[in-house]
Amino acid sequence: MLMPGFLRYDFMQNAFIATTLIALMGSLVGYFVVLRRQAFGSHALSNIGFAGAAGASLIGAEPMLGLLVFVLGAALLMAWTGRHVGERDISVGMILMFSLGLGALFVNLYSANANAAIGILFGSVFGIDASQIRWITITSLVVLAGLVALFRPLRFASLNPDAARARGIPVSLIDTLFLLLLGAASAIAVPVIGALLSFAIFIGPASAAQAWSGRVGMGLALTALLALGEAMGGLILSYYANLPASSCIAGLSFGIYALSRLTRVASRRCVAG
């Protein structure tokens, strides 16, 4: 069978399936995160998961469960505090700060397994087993179905919340549901790409796509393509160059984002000149 050498191994196959699903789900949720200017909230949600996983390890529970509980709890808390973006920035920062403090405490108390904590902060793409693949598949399908269901009211409420509320759209409910989708996506992505690096999938491709296209449909398609390219490219690069996969994905994501900014600046110059 014609297959690239790196796909001979089970762990590589699992890594490819997991990153494909996470890249698609994470980047498409991320498109709306960028549209809504909630990047800081997205970053915070990923890192809050770290405290949950460390806490679950400490009491002998499944780390994934702790991660999920913490992230969804934080998503609800964020939806409940501050409606205005400015207010929300501060409350998000405070929730993030508190949970990182908790995470540090849990790791300190459970020093036997500091490696697991590092794994959550930076991800371990090549350590994914079949049961994780199942969870990643289910979560991705649920999150993508949720995005499709919310699409029209979410798009309008993101752009013009006052007019949406006047039209009878339940804007607060949509805010909360969206944060829960983002929380679920973050929780499932964190063990794979790492809490600190989830920006690479959630924010990088979407902001590059929005720099290149001012249309929603085109922007979403571009986001998914860029995210898939960056994730696959990162894995292959990591295999051949023998570098950490997360670093490769983060590097590609940053490179594409920088390129998108540069071309935007160049095209503005053209228009101005």
Partner 1 sequence: MTDNALVRALDITAGKSTTSVFEALSFEISPGSFTALVGPNGAGKTSLFDTLLGLVALRAGTLTVMGGRPCHARRRIAYVPQVSRLLHDDALVGREFVSAAYQSHRWGMPLPSGRRQQLQAVDAALETVDARDLARRRLSTLSGGQRQRLLIAQALVNEPRLILLDEPLSQLDPAARDRIVSVANALTRRGIAVIFSTHDINPVLPVCDQVLYLAGGRGRAGSVDEIICDRTLSELYGTPMRVIIEGGRRFVFEGSQRRLQAVGQC
* 267 lies in the binding site for partner 1 (CB under 8 A): no
Least distance (Å) between residue 219 CB and partner 1: 8
Helix (H) / strand (E) containing 36 = none
The Cα angle at residue 175 between residues 17 and 158, in degrees rounded to 5 = 90
Longest distance between any two alpha carbons in the chain, whole Å: 64
Residue bearing tokens 């398609």: 221
Least distance (Å) between residue 246 CB and partner 1: 28
Contact 231, 26 (CB under 8 A): no
DSSP 115-161: HHHHHHHH--GGG--HHHHHHHHHHHHHHHHHHHHHHHHHHHHHH-H
Under rule CB under 8 A, which residues in 1-40 are in contact with partner 1? 34-37
Rounded CA-CA distance 273/270 in Å is: 5
Q: Going residue by residue from 57 to 96, which x/- string records binding to partner 1, judged by CB under 8 A?
A: ----------------------------x-----------
Nearer to partner 1, 34 or 68 (CB): 34
Contact 198, 71 (CB under 8 A): no
Rounded CA-CA distance 272/142 in Å is: 45
Q: Which of 148, 241, 243, 259 binds partner 1 (CB under 8 A)?
A: 148
Q: Which of 152, 259, 262, 263 binds partner 1 (CB under 8 A)?
A: 152
Nearer to partner 1, 160 or 263 (CB): 160
Nearer to partner 1, 33 or 248 (CB): 33
Q: Which of 14, 210, 253, 260 binds partner 1 (CB under 8 A)?
A: 210
* 261 lies in the binding site for partner 1 (CB under 8 A): no
Least distance (Å) between residue 212 CB and partner 1: 11
Contact 205, 25 (CB under 8 A): no
Provide the residue type at 243 as one letter.
Answer: L
DSSP code at position 83: S
Rounded (10°) angle between helices 10-35 and 216-241:
150
Q: Which of 65, 90, 138, 149 binds partner 1 (CB under 8 A)?
A: 149
Least distance (Å) between residue 188 CB and partner 1: 23
Least distance (Å) between residue 197 CB and partner 1: 24
Under rule CB under 8 A, which residues in 153-182 are in contact with partner 1? 153, 155-160, 162-169
Nearer to partner 1, 177 or 245 (CB): 177
Rounded CA-CA distance 248/50 in Å is: 21
Number of amino acids touching partner 1 (CB under 8 A): 30
* 151 lies in the binding site for partner 1 (CB under 8 A): yes
Residues of this chain that bind partner 1 (CB under 8 A): 34-37, 85, 148-153, 155-160, 162-169, 210, 214-216, 219
